[in-house]
């Protein structure tokens, strides 16, 4: 029975790949958008004078913003926009009739979208790396560090998924959750997650707060591991903090989902 269930999920995943491939132009535009902002930020940080005590040099900034587009893509989740639209247009009705939970469908769609986006991101990122490779130091990389890096990406993706999912489920009561998402999962994430400024360059108190919140683990944490800036103890501590947030928001999602279904009135679709 489990084999048939797994086979069905793979078929759904393959279907999402086909659907997303029909919008190749949008994938390319999204990929370029992911690349341009970090490149602009990297240029800005390289052009200004470094303040005393800044732990980042030019090489660190280049490596950091080279990885930012890839990590942003791999941990991305569009469930807020997809679920909100499904509630509005009534397509959630059909999803509720499918032989698998609707939220699983959004998870599989997210996997397909993020994987296909790499087709555009990797060549551009590789070209950027060739341009600046003489200024980037990677001699510290070891297999164990790469393993931690990959695990951190998965953990970051799960964290972003459950935080975004919790916000998305408020669509049962709020007509437009995109503004709420922009504030809680966009603006705060961009700042404390490390998109605009590397978390390691924050003042100590702000860096401490960022370490307690889930946003750092969605972007900055994997890059800090790859850069060799964290000890093994700090890496494990980061994993524990991120997993605690994942468990907490998973419980929140479950509670909101059950409450939302009780108030949801099917229409359209």
Q: What is the pLDDT of residue 19?
A: 61
Greatest mean pLDDT range, 15-19, 62-66, 111-115, 229-233: 229-233
Over the chain, what is the mean pLDDT?
A: 82
What pLDDT sits at residue 190? 85
269 is a domain residue: no
Residue among 217, 220, 109, 238 at smallest CA distance from 168: 109
DSSP 182-204: HIIIIIHHHHHTTSSS-GGGS-H
Residue scoring higher pLDDT (223 or 135): 223
pTM of the model: 0.83
Residue 268 falls inside a structural domain: no
What pLDDT was estimated at residue 9? Answer: 61
Q: Residue 106 sits in which domain range?
A: 2-263
Q: What is the CA radius of gyration of the chain?
A: 20
Structural domain count of the chain: 1
Q: Is residue 35 part of a domain?
A: yes
Non-local (6+) Cβ contacts of 234 within 8 A are none
Q: What is the pLDDT of residues 26-64, one digit of tens each?
A: 666 666 666 677 777 777 766 766 667 677 887 888 889
DSSP 52: T
CA distance linking residue 121 with residue 168, whole number of Å: 27
| Residue 267 pLDDT exceeds 70 | no
Determine, yes or no, domain membership for 91. yes
| pLDDT for res 235 | 95
């Amino acid at each position: 029975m489990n084999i048939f269930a797994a086979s069905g999920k793979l078929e759904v995943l393959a279907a999402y790949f086909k659907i997303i491939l029909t919008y190749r132009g949008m994938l390319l535009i999204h990929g370029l958008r992911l690349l341009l902002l970090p490149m602009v930020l990297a240029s800005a940080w390289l052009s200004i004078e470094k303040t005393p005590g800044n732990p980042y040099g030019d090489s660190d900034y280049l490596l950091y913003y080279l990885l930012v587009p890839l990590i942003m893509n791999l941990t991305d989740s569009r469930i807020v926009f997809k679920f909100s639209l499904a509630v509005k247009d009534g397509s959630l009705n059909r999803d509720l009739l499918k032989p698998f939970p609707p939220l699983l469908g959004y998870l599989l769609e997210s996997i397909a979208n993020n994987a296909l986006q790499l087709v555009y991101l990797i060549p551009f990122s590789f070209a950027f790396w060739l341009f600046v490779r003489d200024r980037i130091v990677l001699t510290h990389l070891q297999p164990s560090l790469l393993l931690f890096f990959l695990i951190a990406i998965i953990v970051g993706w799960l964290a972003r998924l459950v935080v975004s999912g919790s916000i998305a489920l408020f669509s049962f009561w709020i007509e437009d959750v995109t503004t709420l998402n922009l504030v809680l999962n966009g603006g705060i994430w961009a700042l404390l997650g490390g998109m605009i400024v590397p978390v390691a360059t924050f003042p100590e108190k702000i860096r401490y707060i960022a370490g307690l919140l889930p946003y750092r683990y969605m972007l900055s944490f994997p890059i800090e591991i790859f850069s060799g800036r964290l000890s093994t103890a700090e890496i494990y501590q980061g994993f524990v903090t991120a997993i605690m947030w994942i468990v907490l928001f998973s419980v929140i999602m479950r509670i909101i989902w059950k409450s939302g279904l009780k108030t949801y009135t099917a229409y359209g679709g």
